[in-house]
């Protein structure tokens, strides 16, 4: 409205000027109006506080810093020379490469095997006498040895930790934990005789009714996940085979109930 009034006043003054001055004044005014309209078109639209808050998103979080691999192989097992991290030809991952003989050393996940022993609607647990997780409860399980099958290793670990002789019934769960490089295979098993006692790595062993399993005192995320799946299967009346990935969070304890997520859960 102010622009329109200015336009009329300028025309009025131009009419009173000489014929030569009037066109210059009108041309100057036309140029001023054109610049003003261009400025208005470029001005961003105003938003109310409510619409601004609903349309303005918080800045995206910064991506996490890349994890630099650290090899546990510091010296070459073949010649004893120090190793260095490098990407070998034809590979795409950092490997421990001998600085002298050039041999490439690969680090593979460890296989852990164990038994979920059933007896009279109870399960057998062992309380650990060693670190990590000293004093916490676990299924009898341990690392697979060279020269034995997964089922043989699970039976051996049960005999070592609980002095219990068992029959393997069926595989129950495979649990992969990529962050710590472990893969678990847990078998359902039953006692051949109702005899068990703590082995050298156990403080005590006990049979627990399913409602009495001490979830707040379990040793590892793999054991927590296995027993939760087993309880759900027993309650549903259909015991299945399970596979999942346990993604542990950096900087948290092995038995922290909030230190992991379960992904890719399959059951058949």
Q: How far apart are CA 231 and CA 96, in angstroms?
A: 43
pTM of this prediction? 0.70
Top pLDDT among 44 and 121 is at 121
* CB half-sphere exposure, 188, CA atoms < 13 A: 19
| pLDDT at residue 1 in the model | 42
Which residues on neighbouring strands pair with residue 206, listed in sequence order? 125
Q: How far apart are CA 121 and CA 211, in angstroms?
A: 10
Residue 92 per-residue DSSP state: -
| pLDDT at residue 249 in the model | 82
pLDDT above 80 (res 6): no
Domain ranges of the chain: 71-107, 110-267
Reported confidence tier of residue 185, pLDDT bands at 50, 70, 90: very high
Pick from 154, 82, 134, 173: which is nearest to 255 by CA? 134
Residues of the chain with pLDDT > 90, as a percent, come to 66
- Can you read off the two tokens belonging to residue 256? 């922290």
| pLDDT at residue 62 in the model | 53
| pLDDT at residue 156 in the model | 98
What is 110-267's CATH number? Answer: 3.90.79.10
- In CATH terms, the fold of domain 71-107 is Ubiquitin Ligase Nedd4; Chain: W; (2.20.70)
Question: Is-same-fold flag (71-107; 110-267)?
Answer: no
């Amino acid at each position: 409205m102010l622009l329109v009034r200015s336009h009329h006043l300028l025309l009025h003054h131009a009419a009173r000027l000489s014929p030569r001055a009037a066109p210059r004044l009108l041309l100057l005014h036309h140029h001023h109006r054109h610049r003003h309209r261009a400025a208005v078109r470029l001005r961003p639209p105003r938003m109310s506080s409510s619409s601004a808050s609903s349309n303005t998103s918080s800045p995206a979080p910064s991506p996490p810093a890349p994890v630099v691999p650290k090899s546990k192989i510091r010296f070459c097992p073949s010649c004893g020379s120090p190793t260095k991290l490098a990407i070998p030809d034809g590979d795409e991952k950092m490997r421990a490469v001998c600085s002298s003989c050039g041999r490439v050393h690969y680090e593979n996940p460890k296989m852990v095997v164990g038994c979920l022993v059933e007896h009279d609607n109870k399960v057998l647990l062992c309380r650990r006498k060693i670190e990590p997780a000293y004093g916490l409860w676990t299924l009898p399980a341990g690392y697979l040895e060279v020269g034995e099958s997964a089922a043989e290793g699970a039976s051996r670990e049960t005999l070592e930790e609980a002095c219990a002789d068992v029959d393997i019934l069926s595989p129950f769960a495979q649990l992969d934990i990529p962050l710590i490089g472990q893969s678990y295979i847990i078998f359902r098993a039953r006692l051949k005789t109702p005899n068990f006692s703590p082995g050298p790595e156990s403080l005590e062993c006990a049979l627990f009714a399913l409602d009495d399993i001490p979830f707040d005192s379990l040793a590892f995320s793999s054991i927590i996940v296995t027993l939760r799946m087993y309880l759900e299967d027993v309650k549903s009346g259909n015991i299945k085979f399970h596979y999942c990935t346990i993604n542990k969070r950096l900087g948290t304890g092995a038995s922290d109930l909030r230190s992991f997520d379960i992904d890719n859960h399959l059951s058949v």
